[in-house]
A and B are shown apart, each in its own frame.
Chain A
Amino acid sequence: MNPASIGVIYRKELTDTLRDRRTILSTIVLPILMFPVLTLGFGFVAAKSMQKVQREGSTIMLLGETNAPTLAETVRKTEGIRIIPASEDYAMRIGDKKLHAALEFPSQFEADVNANRQQVVKIYNFAGETRSQVAVSLLRRILGGYRDQLVEARLMQNGLSKEVLRPFESKEENVAPPEKVGGNAIGGLFPYLIIFLCFMGALAPAIDLTVGEKERGTIETILASPVNGVHRFHCHCGGVARLLRAHFFASVSGRNGVLQERPGPI
């Protein structure tokens, strides 16, 4: 192994790389810009779409409303819910995304519940569809509240307080400064990002070094070159050193990209 020859190849590869816009873009510019744009951009888009869903509210259909007049009234009065008249084609409407969910009360629901007989309320929905799932969670919250009211009433009838069911509560309280909380969250992601960045940043130089040589027709030039004392192994060493450098720059650039939008010092 001749370190001088590896150095010659490495220096040539360095010059070659620094003049390649694609490599500069993928190892330095993209990681610095990508993280702020991706994280802030995605967060912004997600927040916007959630606000839109909340603003527009959920369209709900009540099936067998007369079986549960009290509960139906609670649903009707809940903010963010628009009730449409019951019809047989609720499943099709949910599939067409015109209806977000349908709540079905079985016959004698209220009478059975008051007589301590368990009943099942069905929530028809579109699994995986965001707005339908928002409606489902809203309905679950209403049903849960109604159930709590019933339980509390029954306990009172039997001379018991609701604390019988929940002898104590637990409460979490953060004592760490907010910047440390943010730093910790990013710190957990950091090792994974570095691994990802290493590969991403070195991808363009790796392609350039292997397929690029063949594509541009320089592979025959280097293989036929009079390699006086230079083993072809040196070409690989020089090339690998170039990739390691690309790994390094991509990682450093990526780290800087992450740090740009960190909440506080890590």
Chain B
Amino acid sequence: MIEATHLTKVFSDRKRGDIRAVDGVDFRCQPGGIYGLLGANGAGKTTTLRLLATILQPTSGTARVCGFDIREQPEIVRAHVGFLSTATALYGRLTARETVEYFGRLNGLTGDKLRRRVEELFALLEIGAFADRRCDKLSTGMKQRVSIARTLVHDPPVMIFDEPTLGLDVMAARTIVGFIRDCRSHGKTVIFSSHVMSEVQKLCDHVGIIHQGKLLAQGTLAELRQRTGQADLEEIFVQTVEVAS
């Protein structure tokens, strides 16, 4: 479960002054559901997700992840979160196994428990064939699977995906989309950001439209359709943004 309350992040820029990248955002994501954060480039999607993953600290407002406050208990929050984006790269000189084991150990997994978990994930994600190959020698699709194993090693109840299919080819993107669906079927809370309408339409149970740091509209696809009178998500998005501008 994720609950964001008036979540705000202001960046100070010498030339541009204060920039409100995330401006008083409120939303809830339920376990077993996928919440899609839809917005154009620079809308505030990545900043929102980084706040939830405790990579950034909010300027004001807060969020609770599995009941833990991102301001007060960031370490416990991180232990409950798996964060995946195209920016979360792997250590190229480590093998797939070493990478996953490293993040497992950082989570407190050791010995047989760690080995069992790694084997389980490698079997699930079909990593076995290249488990002992260095990450910089893997294809993009293989790297994505290792990244997924890395995010899942501690079996987090909350998954955060920041434009996870950006720049990937069709096959690699399908692996990710399939994985996001699996997370939902396993009862995890999933939040996902994208500017690709079709992806959001396919995957998400709830959609939030973010523009210039503000959450302009949110609800199920059916609710958004009803509210705007538009059937297509792209039209819903454009209309919502235009009304706000």
Which A residues lie at the B interface, using CB under 8 A? 5, 8-9, 12, 15-16, 19-20, 216-218, 220-221, 223-231
Question: Contact mask B85-99 → A, CB, 8 Å, 1/0?
Answer: 101111111100010
A-B contact pairs, 15 of them (CB 8 A): A15-B93, A15-B94, A19-B134, A217-B87, A217-B88, A220-B55, A220-B83, A223-B55, A224-B83, A225-B78, A226-B81, A226-B154, A228-B107, A229-B79, A231-B75
Which B residues lie at the A interface, using CB under 8 A? 53-55, 75, 78-83, 85, 87-94, 98, 102-103, 105-108, 134, 150, 154, 156
A223 to B74, CA, bound (A): 11
Asked whether A224 and B94 contact (CB < 8 A) given A8-B102, A8-B105, A8-B106, the answer is no
A-B pairs, top 3 by smallest CB distance, nearest first, are A217-B89, A224-B83, A228-B79
Residues on A with C-beta less than 8 A from B106 are: 5, 8-9, 225-228, 230
Nearest Cβ on chain B to A255's Cβ, whole angstroms: 28
Closest to B76 in A: A228
Residues on A with C-beta less than 8 A from B82 are: 226
A228 to B78, CA, bound (A): 7
Nearest Cβ on chain B to A59's Cβ, whole angstroms: 60
Asked whether A221 and B89 contact (CB < 8 A) given A16-B94, A228-B75, the answer is yes
Residues on B with C-beta less than 8 A from A8 are: 102, 105-106
Asked whether A224 and B88 contact (CB < 8 A) given A15-B94, A16-B94, A19-B93, the answer is yes
Nearest Cβ on chain A to B69's Cβ, whole angstroms: 16
A12 to B91, CA, bound (A): 10
Asked whether A220 and B87 contact (CB < 8 A) given A8-B102, A227-B75, the answer is yes
Closest to B84 in A: A224
Are the C-beta atoms of B93 and A16 separated by less than 8 Å? yes
Are the C-beta atoms of B94 and A12 separated by less than 8 Å? yes
Of the residues A15, A20, A220, contact of B88 by C-beta under 8 Å? A220
Number of A-B contacts defined by CB within 8 Å: 79
A218 to B87, CA, bound (A): 8
Nearest Cβ on chain A to B157's Cβ, whole angstroms: 11
Nearest Cβ on chain A to B102's Cβ, whole angstroms: 5
A50 to B156, CA, bound (A): 73
A220 to B147, CA, bound (A): 12
Asked whether A218 and B90 contact (CB < 8 A) given A223-B55, A227-B75, the answer is yes
A241 to B232, CA, bound (A): 56
Of the residues B75, B88, B98, B108, contact of A221 by C-beta under 8 Å? B88
Are the C-beta atoms of A226 and B156 separated by less than 8 Å? yes
Nearest Cβ on chain A to B124's Cβ, whole angstroms: 19
Are the C-beta atoms of A229 and B108 separated by less than 8 Å? yes
Residues on B with C-beta less than 8 A from A228 are: 75, 78-79, 106-108, 154
Residues on B with C-beta less than 8 A from A20 are: 93
A230 to B75, CA, bound (A): 8
A12 to B90, CA, bound (A): 13
Nearest Cβ on chain B to A27's Cβ, whole angstroms: 15
Are the C-beta atoms of A229 and B53 separated by less than 8 Å? no
Residues on A with C-beta less than 8 A from B87 are: 217, 220
Are the C-beta atoms of B94 and A229 separated by less than 8 Å? no
Asked whether A226 and B88 contact (CB < 8 A) given A8-B102, A8-B106, A15-B94, the answer is no
Nearest Cβ on chain A to B149's Cβ, whole angstroms: 13
Residues on B with C-beta less than 8 A from A225 are: 78, 83, 103, 106-107
Nearest Cβ on chain A to B87's Cβ, whole angstroms: 5
Nearest Cβ on chain B to A25's Cβ, whole angstroms: 15
A222 to B161, CA, bound (A): 16
A220 to B79, CA, bound (A): 15
Residues on A with C-beta less than 8 A from B154 are: 226, 228
Asked whether A226 and B79 contact (CB < 8 A) given A8-B102, A8-B106, A12-B94, the answer is yes
Are the C-beta atoms of B93 and A227 separated by less than 8 Å? no
A118 to B106, CA, bound (A): 87
Are the C-beta atoms of B150 and A224 separated by less than 8 Å? no
Are the C-beta atoms of B94 and A226 separated by less than 8 Å? no
Nearest Cβ on chain A to B47's Cβ, whole angstroms: 13
Nearest Cβ on chain B to A237's Cβ, whole angstroms: 13
Nearest Cβ on chain B to A3's Cβ, whole angstroms: 13
A16 to B94, CA, bound (A): 6
Known: A19-B134, A227-B78, A230-B106. 12 other contacts (CB 8 A): A8-B105, A12-B98, A19-B93, A216-B91, A220-B85, A220-B89, A226-B106, A226-B107, A226-B156, A228-B78, A228-B108, A229-B108
Residues on B with C-beta less than 8 A from A218 are: 88-91
Asked whether A221 and B90 contact (CB < 8 A) given A228-B106, A228-B107, A230-B106, the answer is yes
Are the C-beta atoms of B78 and A16 separated by less than 8 Å? no
